[in-house]
Amino acid sequence: MLALTSVWTTILLAAAVALGPLAIDMYLPALPSMGESLSAGTGQVQLTLSIYMAGFAFAQLICGPLADRFGRKPIMIGGFLLFAVASVICALATNIETLILSRFLQALGGSAGPVLGRAAVRDIYSPREAAKIMAILASIMALAPAIAPTIGGFMVVGLGWPSIFLALGGYALLMAVVVAVGIPEPMHPKHRQSLRIGSLLKNYRAIASDISFLGYTLTNSLAFAGLFAFLSGSSFVLIDFLGVEPQYFGLFFACIVGGYIVGNLIAIRLGRQLVPDQILVRGLIVSVAGGGLMAALAAAQVYSVWAVILPQTLFMIGVGMVLPQTMAGALANFPHMAGAASALFGFTQMAVAATIGMLVGHFHDGTSLVMATTISICAVAALASYLLLVQRHPAPGFEPA
């Protein structure tokens, strides 16, 4: 077993948490071909994305308290095994209804990685240290989504879309083994919580009534929703509207992920001189600039790949600065029930993202306008949430000196 504070533990946690994003990013190039294969419309195919996010959100409310009672490792391993089984069902689906249902099951298992990865970081580190570690973890974790769409695009062309789900199932099995034999249990025994309904409701009520938690969670959720608006609409905009070949979709997507990694690295560097809230507001301003630029270009009917990719990359630089700070800030007040706090945080994040994704799919007009406008609105709303809530109720230790 590795030491909890070792670099390799952080890397393994990042690899485990990456399963959630991989289940989204790797199959994005396959969305149009899945629709053709299963005789499904754009809205139905996009529902496989939104239903995953909805299941991901609700499952966290369950696995968080379970992890606070039984520990992080057993719940994470069980989630990975469920994800693997659901992935096989996805690969064997012969109609869109079966695929939607199996994606929901996939989400139930996949939720364990991110929610318990965040909780594990809070178990191990203080709030200020956790912000830095989450930025490092996010940078490592982003490497997988950077190459996943490219791999997925070539798999669609060469092997068909079901091969993507088989690959995801294999990755989940591998991560179950890695967590079982490589990572110690991070939760301290004194922090174990009861599973009684009354205790669970009391814990969730205490977390949800914390203004600091609400501020960081809402700011994070809105910024993440802007990212999800891109995920939901990008394959249809880039492949169907702008004519990008599926196997090359991932190369453009890598630019977006590169922006996110740059944002993470900027946050790590600024963390030496600034407190997390100062980094957060700078990231939000960058995101508003990126989202606003994309919306302006789309409104002016400037339709090209780079009119989408470059503004979204700028938006993602800001998101890379925002997400680690808001994650650490949301959990700062709850070291004794980090699993439940992480679960409620993740539920809100995914619920908002799923709603935004469904709206993008419903109002998609065949161009980039709906997607770009939605991203811009999410960025502005995230900044407003910071100014109205976070700035007035910062997490302990996050305030400017």
Helices vs. strands in the chain: H and E counts, helices first: 17, 0
Task: Note whether residue 68 is domain-resident.
Answer: yes
Task: Note whether residue 395 is domain-resident.
Answer: no
pLDDT digits (tens, 9 = 90+) for 383-392: 999 999 999 9
Task: Note whether residue 396 is domain-resident.
Answer: no
In our burial notation (b when 16+ CB lie closer than 10 A, e otherwise), range 71-103 reads: bbbebbbbbbebbbebbbbbbebeebeebbbbb
pLDDT digits (tens, 9 = 90+) for 297-309: 999 999 999 999 9
Most confident of 105-114, 135-144, 333-342: 105-114
Q: Is 262 helix (H, G, I), strand (E, B) or coil?
A: helix
Task: Note whether residue 399 is domain-resident.
Answer: no
- Domain assignment of residue 289, given as a range: 7-187+197-390
Task: Note whether residue 181 is domain-resident.
Answer: yes
- pLDDT at residue 143 in the model: 67
User: Total domain count for the chain?
Assistant: 1
What confidence tier does 223 reach under pLDDT thresholds 50, 70, 90?
very high
Distances in Å between the Cα of 290 and the Cα atoms of 131, 152, 297, 317, 373 are 24, 27, 11, 9, 11
What confidence tier does 400 reach under pLDDT thresholds 50, 70, 90?
low
Distance CA 116, CA 150 (A): 28
pLDDT at residue 399 tops 70: no
- pLDDT at residue 2 in the model: 61
Establish how many alpha carbons lie within 13 A of residue 52's alpha carbon, considering only the half-sphere containing its beta carbon.
28
Task: Note whether residue 314 is domain-resident.
Answer: yes
pLDDT digits (tens, 9 = 90+) for 30-46: 888 888 888 888 778 88
Task: Note whether residue 376 is domain-resident.
Answer: yes
pLDDT digits (tens, 9 = 90+) for 198-218: 877 888 899 999 999 999 999
Cβ within 8 Å of residue 399, ≥6 positions away = 275, 277
Cβ within 8 Å of residue 32, ≥6 positions away = 45, 235, 236, 239, 240, 246
DSSP 395: P
Give the ranges where 142-245 is alpha helix by DSSP (H). 143-159, 162-182, 197-208, 211-235
What confidence tier does 401 reach under pLDDT thresholds 50, 70, 90?
very low
Task: Note whether residue 110 is domain-resident.
Answer: yes
Least confident piece of the model among 14-23, 81-90, 136-145, 320-329: 136-145
Yes or no: say if 356 and 378 are a contact pair by the CB < 8 Å rule: yes
The CATH number covering residue 364 comes to: 1.20.1250.20
